[in-house]
Amino acid sequence: MRVEQAKSLFQALTQSYFGGANVVFANQSRTPMQKIPLVLLTPGPVHRPSAPVYEVISGERVGNYLSRLSITIDLFTNGAPVVDEESGAIVAYADSSEDDLLAFADFLGSDYTVDWCHKNDVSILIDGDVQCLTAVVNDTTYQYRSRMTVMFYFTQRAIGRTAVLKESSLKYPTGEIDPETGEPVYTTEPPVETESQTGDWPQKGDPVLRPEFAETDSGGGTKDLADEETGYFTEAEVKEEKVQ
Cα–Cα distance for residue pair 70/154, rounded to 1 Å: 11
Closest CA to 1 of 94, 117, 148, 88: 117
pTM: 0.76
Q: Do 101 and 146 meet the contact criterion of CB atoms below 8 Å apart?
A: yes
Q: Do 64 and 153 meet the contact criterion of CB atoms below 8 Å apart?
A: no
* Burial readout 136-170 (b: 16 or more C-beta within 10 A, e: otherwise): eeeeeebbbbbbbbbbbbbbbbbbbebebbbbebb
Give residue-wise pLDDT tens across range 1-16.
889 999 999 999 999 9
Structure confidence at residue 187 as a pLDDT band (50, 70, 90): confident
| CB proximity list for 108: less than 8 A, separation 6 or greater | 124, 126, 150
Q: Which residue type, as a one-letter code, is found at position 182?
A: G
Give residue-wise pLDDT tens across range 57-70.
877 888 899 999 99
